[in-house]
Amino acid sequence: MFLSQVVSAEAALGPFLKLKIINPDHDRRIPKDHFENALQKVIRDLQAKDRSGICFLFDGGDYFVAKPWADDAFSYFRGLIDSGDPLSPYLGLILSGFRGVKAYKQRAGSALYNIGSVAQLGPFTDAESNALIRNRCMIENRSLPAEDIAFVVEQAGGHPYLVQQVLSAVLDRSPKAAAASVQQALLRNHAQDFSDWWNAHDSPDGCGQNERDAYRLLIQRRKLSVASIAESTRLAEFEALDALECLTATGITARADEETFEVGSRLFAEWVLNATPSKPTVKGHHS
């Protein structure tokens, strides 16, 4: 079992409790029932505080699914949350990730495929961005004119991180600073972030070549169907859809409808246009 490999473990459970397991003999593996007994005790303590259970978030799931022990780990989790296990009603597991998690989810017969349900994230809607802006302004006892709010929404494009970053820049700017100067400052300050997202070196948790090709075409046209992107690039339709779904899950693009996608953050689009010289691979057409 995966958890039998653990020498020691500690997890903070919100502001209330900590789950801590220490193996006194580092040469002896911890039995899985040791972990489960400790977990049951913590759940009982949480219930005494009117909490119903624990939900664990495994962030950066691409790291987990790339490991040779991934199948064993998810087989164990499957057993742990199975309806017949006494822990099942009180335990939740969330695995977040990028292309690696999606590929593992689709692997035929994988334990994750059998126990998991997929919820694809996407950018905020304009209404959600506006609600976040209003809440932040209320907390800081500030007000913004409509044009500043529109600037934040357009530049961030619903990307949760960028909504906060652009809003901070707008709130902190000098009264005489023009919108263009705020945009340029944001481009400088987030150049490394954007470079990591663009991921020209193809690490597991950033854009791949398919995503870069699809996005470059999209920022030229602003809004395109999956079929149009596939037709204009080297991608098959299923590859184009997969790339666009990955871009949307990171908040870089938005889904206009079932078959159509559009550019999200204008700030990131501006960075791509000015900082990345390469062009998408395009199919040849006969005249």
pLDDT tens string 6-15: 455 555 555 5
Cα–Cα distance, 251 to 264 (Å, whole number): 7
With 0-12 / 13-18 / 19 or more C-beta atoms within 10 angstroms meaning exposed / middle / buried, residue 254 is buried
Asked if 43 and 53 count as a contact pair (C-beta separation under 8 A), the reply is yes
Average pLDDT, the chain: 81
Question: Which residues, including other chains, have CB under 8 Å from residue 89's CB and lie 6 or more apart?
Answer: 53
Domains of the chain (ranges, CATH numbers) = 2-115 (no CATH), 121-287 (1.10.10)
Question: Which residues, including other chains, have CB under 8 Å from residue 208's CB and lie 6 or more apart?
Answer: 99, 199, 202, 243, 246
Residues written for the chain:
287
Question: Which residues, including other chains, have CB under 8 Å from residue 116's CB and lie 6 or more apart?
Answer: 95, 105
Q: What residue has token string 């006892």?
A: 141
- What pLDDT does residue 285 have? 42
Residue 250, classed as helix, strand or coil, is coil
Q: What residue has token string 């409790």?
A: 17
Residue 287: pLDDT band (50, 70, 90) is very low
- Mean pLDDT over residues 223-231, rounded? 93
Cα–Cα distance, 106 to 268 (Å, whole number): 30
Is pTM beyond 0.95 here?
no
Cα–Cα distance, 160 to 271 (Å, whole number): 18
- Mean pLDDT over residues 145-169, rounded? 94
Residue 229: pLDDT band (50, 70, 90) is very high
Q: Phi-psi category of 236—alpha, beta or left, where left has phi over 0 and alpha has psi -120 to 50?
A: beta
Cα–Cα distance, 8 to 30 (Å, whole number): 8
